[in-house]
Homo-oligomer: A and B are copies of this chain.
Amino acid sequence: MKLHYGRMLTENLDGQHGLTRERMHALTSRFPSVHAEVKTRRNAGEYGFYALGQQENTVRWIRRFAEGVGQAYDHVVVLGIGGSSLGVKAVINALKAPAWNELDDEGRDFFPKITVLENVDPSSIQAALKRIDPRRALVNVISKSGGTTETLAQYLVVRAWLDAALGADVAVRHLVFTTDPVSGPLRALAGREGIPCLEVPPDVGGRFSVLSPVGLFPAALIGVDIDALLSGARHAIARAEQADLLQNPAALYAGLLWTADTSLGARIHFVMPYSDRLRDFADWYRQLWAESLAKRLDRRGEPVFAGPTPVGSIGATDQHSQVQLFMEGPYDKVISFIRLEDPGPDIMIPTRPNLPPELSFLPGHSLGELLRVEQQATAAALARMGRMHCTLELPDLTTETFGELIMFYQLAAGFAGVWYGVDPFDQPGVELGKKLIYAAMGRPGYPAEAASPEAPTA
């Protein structure tokens, strides 16, 4: 994987916008202390996700399950939300054929279909339970804390559906929980009923957990080579040990976005892969970047209200949706393109007799070539308008390079925490909302609270 960052720099833009040599120098000068802080915090146990490269026992257990008992099921149903669903969806989208569930058994190489239920919207749950056959469904309930309201509500509904079809004793054989090794309601339920449990390492937060059993187990069930995924992740980690910032792409990427945000006001961070297969990856990135960096207080407890807004877009599609904004809107963005050198099996654009002259340049090119040209042309146009952007280039999209991409972004979020001076592993801002939900739902110990008016109304 390569990070092309020339168009973050004033000298390659319009000479006015972008990062000057002085700012780049400030980044490289500060990096030794940033790197040292990451190391110290890793030694103190804060950066648990670095250890996800090494999980021999977990991988062995998951593969044994997937290649054994797991083959009995033809539909995997994942119940989870946020860090327990976005990563799983990103893996499916990137590594399985498009519209996976629309393929027949042969088209799926006899691997199961998979449905991720991440919301409590009754319309989605109703429809899923109607179209899925419980007799051949494996339900994987994922909650790190074991007490996520939405996921537990889903569990109660889905469990009643399994019980009604199979009886409670058999239903247990259709369930696997992924949760904390010792504590929480899911762990308690599992112990009582003998439901198999996978462990989320306690020092790995939800948004950093896709390469833990949270993502590995569903991935293995649908035939993803989880060893290759982790091998890609290890590659990214190895590069992130580099002491020279300009040789350490994750640290450099984080530093570039941080300085663009805090010194130039570029606080909107688009990620725009030119690949339909990275659409859900972009959603996963949105959680990682938003929750890790948006913090009211810095590490010293001072109010900072930090937090770039991450946005996902897909090329070439969103050239027809967002590029007008990139070209002519405020100078408040950085666009990170993701480009594949090799888009996979390609399609030649065929010719036809009597083509109108406006189309006659198309035949003889391939769709993959057109996609690549569109990214390069869009980026070149942005450069002329003084719009900062960079490009992550993957040789291709394989299980291994996808593992590398995922870990690259996690490492970048870990470095960005230090550049921004905030704790990238907590999310204190969500607690108040949870309290108010409990109160409104009548959970004991949470008294009702008055809210300010929503009216006036038009």
A363-389 interface code vs B (CB 8 A; 1 in, 0 out): 101111011011011111101110000
A365 adjacent to B3 (CB under 8 Å) = no
Q: How many chain A residues have a CB neighbour from B under 8 Å?
A: 153
Report if A131-B150 is in contact (Cβ < 8 Å); known contacts: A327-B430, A430-B319, A441-B373: no
Most buried by B among A121, A305, A343: A121
11 other contacts beyond A85-B317, A323-B429, with CB at 8 A cut-off?
A: A121-B343, A122-B344, A123-B345, A126-B347, A160-B352, A306-B329, A327-B429, A327-B430, A361-B444, A376-B436, A378-B433
A149 touches B370 (CB 8 A): yes
A296 within 8 Å of B (CB atoms): yes
A152's partner among B13, B359, B380 (CB-CB below 8 A) is B359
Chain B contacts of A160 at CB under 8 A? 350, 352
Chain B residues with CB under 8 Å of A277's CB are 121, 123
Question: Interface readout for A156-200 with B: 1 if CB under 8 Å, 0 if not?
Answer: 110110000000000000000000000001001100100000000
A321 touches B287 (CB 8 A): yes
Interface string of A330-372 (1 = CB under 8 A from B): 1111000000000111110111101011110111011110110
Is A243 interfacial (CB 8 A cutoff)? Answer: no
Cβ contact within 8 Å between B458 and A153 = no
Q: Mark A290-317, 1 if CB is under 8 A from B, else 0.
A: 1100111000000001110101001111
A384: which of B185, B286, B330, B432 is its contact (CB, 8 Å)?
B432
> How near does chain B come to A293, taking the closest CB pair, in angstroms?
8
User: Residue A317 contacts which of B107, B118, B275 (CB distance < 8 angstroms)?
Assistant: B118
A12 & B124 in contact (Cβ 8 Å cutoff): no
Which of A206, A314, A323, A383: most chain B Cβ within 10 A? A323
Do A99 and B120 touch across chains, with their CB atoms under 8 A apart?
no
The proximity string for A residues 77-95 relative to B, scoring 1 for CB distances below 8 Å and 0 otherwise, is 0000111011000000000
